């Protein structure tokens, strides 16, 4: 098996921001979905765009497609771009696109009374399904569900058949909700993208929503703190990435390779420095009779007490804590990285050369 192909840290974790233990590498799938969402958002809100009428003619109401999940039956004749856009954040993906939108009532000309979420936490068709079934105006926008009379707004709901007792009870409840709101002819309906504090849409906020959904392993606070310190050091990126793998304990030691079934011979698990013990991260870097002597010499050189090994992250953190002042702490962390990097390089030279 080709060792370079083994996934030591999952891709979802690698694409997380650095403060969450990742390398902040762009996840192209999430980024692509965010760009498609930008188009969805523009279709819903950019009513004066030159392409608006053309697309509207071809695919019908954008709100129906993207907010109420209609239009599935015509997908097979649609372009790949439209199909991808239609599916992104739709019902099959937990409806995260719609869930991030709230509709704000203005003149009521663009928000569908029954189907869009504008009053409360869910659309009225889901809150009152029986009333919705009996309504004569299932697709009507809010401004068509009432009339203005001398500046007074009255709601007018019409039914295809007689309402039963349960319906009348629901209708009373609905009227109580509606009494609190009315259209405002002086302003247009708006939509807010709730992931952005100012309500505007951005690819970045969408990408963050998607990355949050992809969170892999949650790291403990000690590791998160150690990683934050790691990234502050001005060392070559290959050393930082090595340090990141070491702190996450994701280096391909012989024991790790044995556990993954890549080496099967028992004696291949041994440490190449002492040939006495199994080579895992704790042994090769800290407790091996050879490497522990290196640390002893470093502690003598720095004039501090030896830090007993507990785990990798606390060794790294404590090593920095021995110094006073942020600059000295940073130098200590660089010494720590240089030491572990040299140990790993020497070990690799023995194995591969």
Q: Which of 37, 125, 281, 288 binds Zn ion (CB under 5 A)?
A: 288
Phi-psi region of 103 (alpha: psi -120 to 50; beta: other; left: phi over 0): beta
| 226 binds Zn ion per the rule CB under 5 A | no
What tokens appear for 309 in the block?
Answer: 């090994």
What tokens appear for 227 in the block?
Answer: 């990683």
Q: 163 or 274: whose CB is closer to Zn ion?
A: 274
Q: Which stretch binds Zn ion (CB under 5 A): 23-31, 136-144, 232-240, 270-278?
A: 270-278
H or E element, residue 188: none
Q: What is the DSSP secondary-structure string of 257-294?
A: HHHTTS---GGGGB-TTTSSSB--HHIIIIISHHHHHH
Alpha-helical (H) ranges within 22-110 are 28-45, 52-59, 62-66, 80-87, 96-99
Q: Which stretch binds Zn ion (CB under 5 A): 39-47, 148-156, 217-225, 266-274?
A: 266-274
Q: 25 or 350: whose CB is closer to Zn ion?
A: 350
Q: Smallest distance from the beta carbon of 276 to Zn ion, in angstroms? A: 6
What tokens appear for 72 in the block?
Answer: 């599935």
Q: Smallest distance from the beta carbon of 233 to Zn ion, in angstroms? A: 27
CA 78, chain centre distance (Å): 29
Q: How far apart are CA 290 and CA 304, in angstroms?
A: 20
| 278 binds Zn ion per the rule CB under 5 A | no
Q: 39 or 341: whose CB is closer to Zn ion?
A: 341
**Residue 221 burial (C-beta neighbours within 10 Å; 0-12, 13-18, 19+):** exposed
Q: Smallest distance from the beta carbon of 318 to Zn ion, in angstroms? A: 22
Q: Which of 41, 82, 113, 273 binds Zn ion (CB under 5 A)?
A: 273
Binding track, positions 97-136, relative to Zn ion; x by CB under 5 A? ----------------------------------------
Q: Smallest distance from the beta carbon of 273 to Zn ion, in angstroms? A: 4
Q: How many residues bind Zn ion (CB under 5 A)?
A: 4
| 281 binds Zn ion per the rule CB under 5 A | no
Q: How far apart are CA 163 and CA 111, in angstroms?
A: 25
| 271 binds Zn ion per the rule CB under 5 A | yes
The answer to whether 75 and 27 have CB atoms below 8 angstroms apart is no
Q: Which stretch binds Zn ion (CB under 5 A): 132-140, 173-181, 249-257, 280-288?
A: 280-288
Q: 246 or 271: whose CB is closer to Zn ion?
A: 271
Q: Return residues touching Zn ion (CB under 5 A).
A: 271, 273-274, 288
């Amino acid at each position: 098996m080709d060792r370079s192909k083994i996934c030591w840290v999952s891709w979802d974790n690698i694409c997380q921001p650095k403060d969450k233990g990742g390398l902040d590498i762009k996840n192209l799938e999430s980024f692509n979905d965010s760009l498609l969402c930008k188009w969805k958002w523009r279709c819903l809100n950019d009513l004066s765009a030159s392409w608006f009428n053309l697309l509207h003619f071809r695919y019908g109401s954008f709100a129906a497609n993207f907010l109420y999940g209609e239009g599935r039956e015509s997908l097979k004749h649609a372009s790949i771009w439209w199909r991808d856009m239609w599916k992104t954040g739709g019902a099959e993906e937990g409806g995260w696109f719609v869930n991030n939108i709230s509709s704000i009532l203005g003149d009521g000309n663009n928000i569908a009374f029954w189907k869009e979420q504008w009053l409360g936490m869910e659309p009225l068709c889901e809150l009152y399904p029986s009333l919705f079934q009996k309504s004569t105006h299932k697709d009507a926008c809010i401004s068509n569900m009432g009339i203005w009379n001398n500046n007074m707004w009255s709601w007018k709901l019409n039914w295809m058949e007689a309402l039963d007792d349960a319906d009348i009870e629901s209708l009373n409840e609905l009227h109580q909700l509606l009494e609190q709101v009315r259209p405002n002819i002086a302003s247009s309906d708006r939509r807010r993208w709730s992931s952005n504090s100012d309500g505007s849409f951005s690819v970045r906020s969408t990408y963050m929503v998607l990355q949050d959904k992809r969170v892999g392993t949650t790291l403990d606070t000690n590791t998160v703190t150690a990683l934050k310190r790691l990234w502050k050091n001005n060392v070559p990126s290959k050393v930082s990435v090595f340090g990141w793998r070491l702190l996450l304990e994701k280096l391909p030691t012989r024991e790790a390779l044995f556990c993954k079934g890549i080496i099967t011979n028992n004696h291949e698990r041994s440490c190449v420095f002492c040939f006495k013990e199994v080579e895992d991260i704790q042994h090769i870097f800290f407790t091996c009779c050879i490497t522990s002597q290196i640390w002893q010499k470093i502690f003598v050189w720095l004039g501090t007490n030896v830090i007993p090994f507990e785990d990798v992250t606390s060794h790294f953190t404590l090593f920095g804590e021995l110094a006073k002042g942020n600059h000295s702490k940073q130098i200590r962390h660089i010494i720590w990285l240089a030491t572990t990097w040299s140990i790993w390089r020497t070990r690799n030279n023995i194995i591969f050369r």
